[in-house]
């Protein structure tokens, strides 16, 4: 479901137009201005935008604006990473080569519109994906690096992944191997090696994230030792 299909959108007639390139999007002031300092200021400034009820947006791509509007209209988080709402998101979406940049662009969009609180539902979504990882014996190459980068950025923004979900992820990494796809799956090597390289490669590591990861590792090693 996209924002134009949500009850908040269908309840009344839109009264504001957002312009992105050649696209014009009709929206509701009472939805976009409640949580966005940018939209609230633009529609109450007394300048051209507030009189014409028309706001031109030059620095945000249409697909990232769509993510913002989905959030403002309380659309479920499923279409967050992919504007194609017919595609169900999965943990392996995080393996996409451009996923880290995609999330960075989305964060930039929320900051641009002065919207707070986006990271909390994102964190819950990622935790739910970590839960689905349990029991996997192989991961696509590059997944560890993306997961580590995305998780580290969440911690840097003041949000914590529940330790129980992180334990599930690290435990899966302990037993899994990474693979590459060339016609069919080829076993490459230990996922823990890729995890170590991903942690070492972080340009700006968050201390709380590292502590959480090593807490999970220590707990798993103690469990293995007892067995």
Q: How far apart are CA 118 and CA 106, in angstroms?
A: 10
Evaluate whether residue 20 is within a structural domain. yes
Please report whether residue 56 resides in a domain.
yes
CA proximity to 26, closest of 54, 61, 67: 54
Would you say residue 75 lies in a domain? yes
The DSSP letter of residue 92 is G
Is the same domain home to 78 and 133? no
Integer Cα distance of 173 and 68 in angstroms: 33
Helices marked H in the chain — which ranges?
7-10, 29-35, 37-43, 48-52, 62-72, 99-112, 119-133, 143-156, 163-175, 191-200, 207-226
Q: What is the pLDDT of residues 15-71, one digit of tens each?
A: 999 999 999 999 999 999 999 999 999 998 888 878 888 999 999 999 889 989 998
The 3-state secondary structure of 207-223, one letter per residue = HHHHHHHHHHHHHHHHH
101 and 132 co-located in one domain: no
Question: What pLDDT, on the 0 to 100 scale, is given for residue 89?
Answer: 46
**100: which 2 tokens?**
């880290």
Residue 82 and residue 7 share a domain: yes
Q: Predicted confidence band at 109 (pLDDT cuts at 50, 70, 90)? A: very high
Mean pLDDT computed over 97-103: 78
Domain stop point among 78, 98, 116? 116
3-state secondary structure of 225: helix
**In terms of Cα–Cα distance, which of 97, 190, 113 is closest to 149?**
97
Residue range(s) defining the domain that contains residue 108: 1-116
Domain boundary (116, 139, 166) is at 116
Give me the number of domains the chain comprises.
2
């Amino acid at each position: 479901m996209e924002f134009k299909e949500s009850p908040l959108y269908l309840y009344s007639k839109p009264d504001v137009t957002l312009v992105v390139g050649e696209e014009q999007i009709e929206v509701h002031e009472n939805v976009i201005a409640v949580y966005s300092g940018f939209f609230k200021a633009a529609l109450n400034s007394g300048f051209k935008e507030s009189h014409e009820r028309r706001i031109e947006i030059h620095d945000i791509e249409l697909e990232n604006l769509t993510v913002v509007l989905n959030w403002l209209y309380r659309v479920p988080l499923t279409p967050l990473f992919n504007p194609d709402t017919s595609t169900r998101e999965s943990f392996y979406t995080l393996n996409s080569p451009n996923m880290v940049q995609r999330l960075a662009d989305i964060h930039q969009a929320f900051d641009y519109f002065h919207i707070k609180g986006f990271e909390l539902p994102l964190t819950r979504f990622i935790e739910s994906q970590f839960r689905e990882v349990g029991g996997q014996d192989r991961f696509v190459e590059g997944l560890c690096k993306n997961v580590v980068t995305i998780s580290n950025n969440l911690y840097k923004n003041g949000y914590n992944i529940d330790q129980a979900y992180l334990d599930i992820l690290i435990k899966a990494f302990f037993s899994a191997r990474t693979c590459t796809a060339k016609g069919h799956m080829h076993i490459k090597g230990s996922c823990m090696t890729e995890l170590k390289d991903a942690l070492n490669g972080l340009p700006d590591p968050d201390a709380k994230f590292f502590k959480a990861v090593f807490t999970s590792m220590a707990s798993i090693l103690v469990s293995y030792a007892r067995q």
